[in-house]
Structure 1
Amino acid sequence: MSLIRPWDRALLCLKLLEIDPTLGGIVIASRSSPVRDRLLRHLPKSTRRIHGQMDDTALFGGMDVTSTLSKGAVVMTSGIAVNDDPLLLTMAERTPNERAVRLVSETDSILYVLDESTEDEDLLPPVFTEQLAFHIDLKDLSLSDARSMPAEVVPSDTISTDQAIELFAQTSATLGITSLRAPSFALKTARALARLDGRSEITQDDANTAAMLVFAHRTTRLPEFEPEPEEPEAPAEPKQNPQNEIVPEDMMIEAVKMLLPNDVLLFLNGTSRTGKGRGAGRVRKSNRRGRPKPSRKGNPDSQTRLDVIATLRSAAPMQGLRANAARRTAIQIRSSDLHVKQFEEKSDRLIIFVVDASGSSAVGRLAEAKGAVEYLLADAYARRDHVALVAFRGEAAELLLPPTRSLVQTKRRLASLPGGGGTPLASGIEQGLMQAISGQRKGMTPVICILTDGRANIARDGSPDRQAAAQDAKDMAKQIRGLGFDSIVIDTGNRPEPQLRTLSSIMDACYISLPRANASGISKAVSSAIAD
C-alpha cells in the first residue's frame, strides 16, 4: 500500500483538507529542507505565511494604538488570521500556548503547521495535535522519496455511516485515544476519501485509510491479540449482505500499526520526546509576576500592556516637527514611540529534601529533617517557598510529602516516618530529580537537598551491590548537573565521607559536612547555600 510512504500520505492529506476544511489542518514535522519546500509548493496559492511570535493585533485584529492616539478616535484593524485564506504557521514549536489556542479556535482557515523542533527542544503546543486532523513526519525523507507512486486499487465493501461511527469509536478506545475529536475526524476523513474517488458511500478501505491518517499519531497503547483456539470447520453458510455485517476492528488496528515507528514502545510511552531540552525554542517559565522593570519599545497585545507615560515621553520631543508637517495641533504618536510595560519574572522556590532513612541512625536524621522542614515552612508565606520530602530506605525511595506550603498538612504527613534497612541512594536522587522536573514544569525553581551519610549499598534495580549502587548514584548525579538544577549535599555521617564529596562534585552541588546537624543548623545551611 503506497500510503505507508510519508510523501503519499502528505499529498493525500493536502487533498482531503481542500475537500473538507473542517478537518482543521495538518502538522508537518520537518526542518527546512528541499523535501519540505517541494511539499509546500502543493499548498494553495492563497496561503498566507504567519509566525507564532507575531503579536495578537497583527494576527487577530484589534485597536491600532498609533492611529487611535493620533486621530483621537478608535481605529480598528483586521488581522491576518481572521479571513478565510489558508495559513502556514512557521516554527510552530515557538508559539505560546495561549496564542496557539486562539489560532485553532478563532480562525476558520485551514492551518498548515510546521513543527521544526529537534529532540532537545520544547514540544509543539498540544492543541495543534488535538484539533488538527493530520500529522506527517518528513524528517527522514530525501528528494528521491518525494515522488508519488500509484495507489493500489483494492475492491472493498461499502459500510453504513452507523457502522463507521461504531468502528471508529471502538478502535480509538482500543488504541487508548481519549479525545472525542479523533473518531469525528476519522469519519470526516472517510467521507472525504469517498468524495475524492467520486463516490457517495464509505468503503471499508476508506475507513482503514482514515484510521491510518487520524489515529496513528494519537495512539497511546496497542492491544494484545491472543490466538483463538482452532475449531472444526463449520458447514458453509449463505453469504450475508456485506452492508449488514459488522466490520471487524482488527483490520483497522493493523492498518494503524503499519504506520507506527519501529521503537513503538518508546513512541507510545512518550519517552522519545521529553521536552526537557534547552533549545532555542525554550522559554523560561515563571508562576508569578515580580516588580516592574523599565519599559521597552513594542506594540501592546494580549501578553503586554501599553505604558502610556513612557509612550508620551518618547513622543514629546518630536511634537513640534510632527505638528508642522501635519498642520495639526493634536498629539502625534508614531509606532516607534510605543512602549510596553515589563515585569520581573519570578518563580516560587521548591526545596526538595531527599533524606536517608536507612540504618540505625535513621530516626535521628528523619527527626532533624522534619524540624528543618518546619523551620523553612515557618516563613514560607513570606518567601513563598514550597517544600517536598523524599525518604529512601530498603530497596527504593518514597515521596512522603508532595510540594506544599501548608504547615498543617506538613505536620500530619511527618508525624511518623519509617526507618531502617538498606541505602538506595540512587533511587532517592532519582525521586528527587523527578520532583524537581515536575516543579520546574509548574513554574517553580527547584533546589534538591540530599541528607545522607553516603554509604550506598542498594542499586537502582533493588539488588544489594555496593559497587553498582555507587555507580548508579553517580549516573543520577550527572543527570541533575546536566539539567542544571541547584543542589546541596549534606553529609550527616560521623566523619566526612569522601564518596559524598565526589558525588557532590559530579552533581556540581554545594557540599556541607554536618556530623551533628540539628534542625536549626540544617535550615540555616540550606538558606545560606541557596542565598549564595
Structure 2
Amino acid sequence: MTETMAPELTPWALASIAGGLFAVDPSGCGGVAVRAHAGPVRDRWLEQLRQLLPDKAPMRRLPLHIADGRLLGGLDLAATLKAGKPIAERGLLAECDGGVAVMAMAERLTSSTAGRVAAVMDAHEVVLERDGLGMRVPTRFGVVALDEGMSEEEQVPDVLMDRLAFHMDLIPIAVRDMDEPLWTSEDVGRAREFLPNVEVSDNILEALCGTARALGIASLRVPFLALRAARAAAALDGRDQVSEEDAALAARLVLAPRATMLPPSEDDMPEEQEPPPPEEPPEEEQNQEDQEDQDPAELDKPLEDRVLEAAKASLPAGLLAQLQAGLGARSRSSAAGKAGALQQGNRRGRPIGTRRGELRAGARLNVIETLRAAAPWQPLRRAQALADGSSTKSLRVHVRRDDFRITRFKQRTETTTIFAVDASGSAALHRLAEAKGAVELLLADCYIRRDRVGLIAFRGTEADLLLPPTRSLVRAKRSLAGLPGGGGTPLASAIDAVRELAESVKRRGETPVAVFLTDGRANIARDGSQGRTKATEDALGAAKELAAEQFKIILVDTSPRPQRSAQELAMAMQAQYLPLPHADAATLSSAVQTASS
C-alpha cells in the first residue's frame, strides 16, 4: 500500500481506494457516504463497486420512502390471505445479508428510518415484532448513502453518517479524471479470505485514536472504523500485520473528512529555550549519517505524528478554509436556509406511516395496511361466520372497524420572519437602510422558501406594525420608504408587539421567527413614561414573557460596539445574539438565515 500513500493522489484515486477497502469488509467498515449528483461519475463508481463485490453478494436499492414492513419485514399479505394463517416475508435489510444496501437520496432520509437502519447495523440482526409476528433474522451488510443534496440544509442524518467509514465528494471529479479500478474482484476475494489473519499492534491503535483526538473527532466509533479500513488495506496487500502506511491511509480516508479542528502546528507551540549546539561528531559518524536515505528528524517523530501529517495532507482545500475559520467539518448543517417546523396531519404532505383511526374529518384509508391488520384474524372470523350460518361470508376478507389504518402525512409549515427595527436615535437612518435591504433580500427568496416577512418599527412612545406578514416585495418597499427616524426607544412595547404578532402567526399554523435590530438601550416604559431604569425593567420583563412562548428569536446588536444592555436583553428573551454593528444588508440577511436555520 505504500504507493497509495502518495499525497498527489487524485480525488478519483482516493474514491477508488475507498471503494476497494469497503468491498473487502462492507459490514466492518459500515459504508460509504457519496456526495455526488446523478451522472456518469457516480454511476461509474457504483459500477466499479459492483464489480469488486463477490458474484453472490446482493446489492439492493432502498427507496427513499420505504415502509417499515418492506425495510424490516412483516406480514406477507397475499400469502397470509391465501394460507389463512400469518406468513412472514423478509425485509430488504435481511435480503442485503453479506452485501450492500444502496440508499438513494439519503439526504432526505427521515431520522426514524435512519435510526432503524443504524440499529440493525449495530445488532447485526433484524428484530421483528409486529403484525402478530416475532422473529430475529441475522444480517450483516454495508451501506452506500447517495447524497444528492442541492442545498446546504440537506444532509444525511448524523446517526447514519457516524457509522459510515468513508465520506467522499465526487462532485469536483470530471469524466476525464476517471481511471480503471486498482483491484479486481479476485484481489478482493483473496483479501476477504485473508482478512481474519490480519493483526494490529497497540501502537497503531493508539496512533489512530490520537489522530482522531487531534482533529477534534468526538465519536469513539470513528477510530475503530479507521482500524477496519487499515486492516482491509493490509489484507489487500497480503500482509498479516497492519503497517504504518495502512494507518496513514486510513487516517486520510476516514479521519480527515471528519475533522472539526486543526491540530496545533509547530509555530503555535510555546517557544522554548534553544539548547546549546551539539558538539561536532567524529568524521566517521558524519560520513555514516550522510549515507542515510531518510531524514533523521522524520525517523524521530512518533507514529501518531506521522499518521496525523498524512491526515492533514488529505484535508480538502474547502474544508481547510472552514477549519481555519473555526466553522468545523459539518458546516453544511449549520449554513442552511430557514425551514418551517414539522406539522403532522392526515390530509396532505409526505406519507410517514399509518395509525389506527376512524374514517372521518378527511382521513385517508390505507387499504394495504388495513388488510395487513385484518389478515391474522381471518381464520377466527371465518370460523365465527360459519358458526353463524353464513357460508358465503367465509369466502370474503372480514374487515372490522378496529382494523382501519389511516395514512399520516408530514409537511413543513411556512416560516414568518418578524423584523423589529429600532428607529430611534441619531444613527437610525443607517440602521433602517440595513433593515430595508435585508427585508428585500429575504422577500426575494420567499417564493422558494415559502416565507413571509413582517416589519415592526419602534420609536417615540410606541411600536407600529408597518408591514403585516407578506410576500409582496412592492408592498414592502412602499411601507419601508416612508419610515421616519428619531425619538425615544419604547423597547418593551416593541417586544409586546412582536409577541402578539408571533402568536397570531402561530395560530395560523406557521412558524414565527423574531429578529430584533436594536442596541438594547430602552428609555420609554410600557406606560409611555420616560426613564431609563423603569424602561429597562419593563423591557427585561417583556423579554422573559416572550421567551416563555419558546419562539425562535435573534437579536442583532446594531451599536458601534457590542453593548452589555443588548447582551442582557438577548439572554432574558433566550435569543441568539449577533453583534453586527457594521454589517451591510447582504451580510445581515445571510446572518439571519444562518441563525434561524
Which residue of structure 2 lines up, in the alignment, with residue 10 of structure 1?
15
| 2:363 alignment partner, one of 271, 278, 294 | 294
| 1:455 alignment partner, one of 421, 424, 428 | 424
State the SS of the aligned residue for 1:48: strand
- Residues 177-229 of structure 1: CA distance to partner in whole angstroms, max 9, x if unpaired? 00011111112221221111111122221111110011011100002313476
Residues 498 and 446 (structure 1 numbering): CA distance in 2 closer, same or farther, change over 3 Å?
A: closer
Identical amino acids, percent of aligned pairs: 26
| 2:88 alignment partner, one of 76, 79, 88 | 76
Matches of 1:32 and 1:101 in 2, distance apart? 25
1:224-235 alignment to 2 at 5 Å? 224-227=264-267, 231=275, 232-233=277-278
Q: Could you state the TM-score of these two structures normalised by the residue count of structure 2?
A: 0.55
| 2:407 alignment partner, one of 342, 359, 384 | 342
Q: Could you state the TM-score of these two structures normalised by the residue count of structure 1?
A: 0.61
Residues 468 and 307 (structure 1 numbering): CA distance in 2 closer, same or farther, change over 3 Å?
A: farther
State the SS of the aligned residue for 1:163: helix
Matches of 1:41 and 1:487 in 2, distance apart? 48
Q: Is residue 342 of structure 2 the alignment partner of residue 285 of structure 1?
A: yes
Determine if contact 1:10/1:136 at 8 Å carries over to the other structure. yes
Residues 509 and 342 (structure 1 numbering): CA distance in 2 closer, same or farther, change over 3 Å?
A: farther
State the SS of the aligned residue for 1:186: helix
Determine if contact 2:12/2:177 at 8 Å carries over to the other structure. yes
- Residues 360-386 of structure 1: CA distance to partner in whole angstroms, max 9, x if unpaired? xxxxxxxxxxxxxxxxxxxxxxxxxxx
Matches of 1:111 and 1:15 in 2, distance apart? 14
The amino acid that maps onto 2:145 is: V
Determine if contact 2:374/2:398 at 8 Å carries over to the other structure. no
1:22-33 alignment to 2 at 5 Å? 22-33=28-39
Matches of 2:78 and 2:423 in 1, distance apart? 64
| Aligned-residue offset at 1:71 | 4.5
Which residue of structure 1 lines up, in the alignment, with residue 108 of structure 2?
94
Residues 472 and 185 (structure 1 numbering): CA distance in 2 closer, same or farther, change over 3 Å?
A: same
- Residues 381-428 of structure 1: CA distance to partner in whole angstroms, max 9, x if unpaired? xxxxxxxxxxxxxxxxxxxxxxxxxxxxxxxxxxxxxxxxxxxxxxxx
Q: Is residue 439 of structure 2 the alignment partner of residue 477 of structure 1?
A: yes
Determine if contact 1:293/1:342 at 8 Å carries over to the other structure. no
Q: CA RMSD in A?
A: 4.8
| Aligned-residue offset at 1:288 | 8.9
Determine if contact 2:456/2:463 at 8 Å carries over to the other structure. no
Matches of 2:495 and 2:31 in 1, distance apart? 58
Residues 531 and 245 (structure 1 numbering): CA distance in 2 closer, same or farther, change over 3 Å?
A: closer
Matches of 1:531 and 1:216 in 2, distance apart? 47
Moved more, 27-36 or 507-516: 507-516
Determine if contact 2:345/2:409 at 8 Å carries over to the other structure. no
Matches of 1:297 and 1:5 in 2, distance apart? 50
| Aligned-residue offset at 1:524 | 6.0
The amino acid that maps onto 2:396 is: I
Structure 2 residues not aligned, in runs of 5+: 1-5, 122-139, 184-197, 290-295, 348-359, 379-391, 484-488, 509-597
Which residue of structure 1 lines up, in the alignment, with residue 455 of structure 2?
489
| Aligned-residue offset at 1:50 | 2.0
State the SS of the aligned residue for 1:4: coil
The amino acid that maps onto 2:321 is: L
State the SS of the aligned residue for 2:331: coil
- Residues 79-130 of structure 1: CA distance to partner in whole angstroms, max 9, x if unpaired? 1211313222222122211111222331511212211112355211112320
State the SS of the aligned residue for 2:265: coil
Matches of 1:124 and 1:521 in 2, distance apart? 39
Residues 470 and 4 (structure 1 numbering): CA distance in 2 closer, same or farther, change over 3 Å?
A: farther
1:18-417 alignment to 2 at 5 Å? 18-21=23-26, 22-42=28-48, 43=50, 44=53, 45=55, 46-68=58-80, 71-83=83-95, 84=97, 85-107=99-121, 108-120=140-152, 122-148=154-180, 161-227=201-267, 231=275, 232-233=277-278, 247-263=302-318, 264-266=320-322, 268-269=327-328, 270-274=330-334, 276-277=336-337, 285-286=342-343, 293-297=362-366, 299-300=368-369, 329-332=394-397, 340-343=405-408
Moved more, 82-91 or 174-183: 82-91
Residues 190 and 245 (structure 1 numbering): CA distance in 2 closer, same or farther, change over 3 Å?
A: farther
Number of positions where the alignment pairs a residue of Structure 1 with one of Structure 2 = 395
Residues 293 and 261 (structure 1 numbering): CA distance in 2 closer, same or farther, change over 3 Å?
A: farther
Structure 1 residues not aligned, in runs of 5+: 152-157, 313-326, 347-442, 458-464
State the SS of the aligned residue for 1:105: helix
Residues 472 and 523 (structure 1 numbering): CA distance in 2 closer, same or farther, change over 3 Å?
A: closer
Determine if contact 2:73/2:90 at 8 Å carries over to the other structure. yes
